[in-house]
Amino acid sequence: MLEPNVLVGELQNLRDDGFLSDALLRHAVKSIKSSDPRFDWVGVYLLKPEENMLWLHNYIGRPTTHAKIPVGEGVCGTAVAEGENVNVPDVGAVDHYLACDPRVKSEMVVLIRGEEIFGQIDIDSRTAAAFTDDDEMALQLIADKLAEQLAAERR
């Protein structure tokens, strides 16, 4: 089970020890992936605003052809375009869904944002309707911690 407060503490420790966002983003993906068997693919996309494009920073799970996703496309790009987290209980019901793995049934996207959108945590599940409001809240705590570091590096 995902314990966001433990992971947020670990991310703060990494910050205190001088690690940059690259280390934090990789640690977060690893910890989230191993926390719950419902999470079959976990990745972080970062937004390149000058290109209006999401770039896959790191992931664990089956390789994907969607390393770059234009803002406004797919579940991921739509989340950025609309500035909202997304919980898709049935990916088959979403016309703009971009498939990575045909076994995936549900998906959650939680934005990493401060004053601007930095990117997102994206999770796929082979379980239908896998994601709950509690998952979204837990992932938001983690995303907010990642945003602190990303914001610090923009200054």
Q: Per CB under 6 A, does 97 bind ligand SME? A: yes
The answer to whether 141 and 5 are in contact (CB under 8 A) is yes
85 binds ligand SME (CB under 6 A): no
Pick 104 or 138: Cβ nearer ligand SME:
104
Beta-carbon-side half-sphere exposure of residue 98 (alpha carbons within 13 Å): 17
CB of 7 to ligand SME, least distance (A): 21
Q: Assess 98 for contact with ligand SME (CB under 6 A).
A: yes
Contact residue for ligand SME among 108, 120, 122, 140 (CB under 6 A): 122
Sheet with 117-125: strands ordered across? 68-70, 53-60, 41-48, 117-125, 106-113, 86-88
Which residue, among 3, 8, 25, has the nearest Cα to 150 in the 3D structure?
A: 25
Beta bridge partners of residue 120, listed in sequence order? 45, 111
Q: Which residue has the tokens 């992931």?
A: 59
Contact segment (CB under 6 A) with ligand SME among 28-36, 97-105, 126-134, 143-151 equals 97-105
Residues of span 16-75 touching ligand SME by CB under 6 A = 41, 43, 64, 66, 69, 74-75
The phi and psi torsions of 17 (rounded to 5 degrees) equal: -85, 0
| DSSP type of residue 62 | S
Interface positions, 102-121, toward ligand SME (CB under 6 A)? 107
Binding site for ligand SME (CB under 6 A): 41, 43, 64, 66, 69, 74-76, 97-98, 100, 107, 122, 124
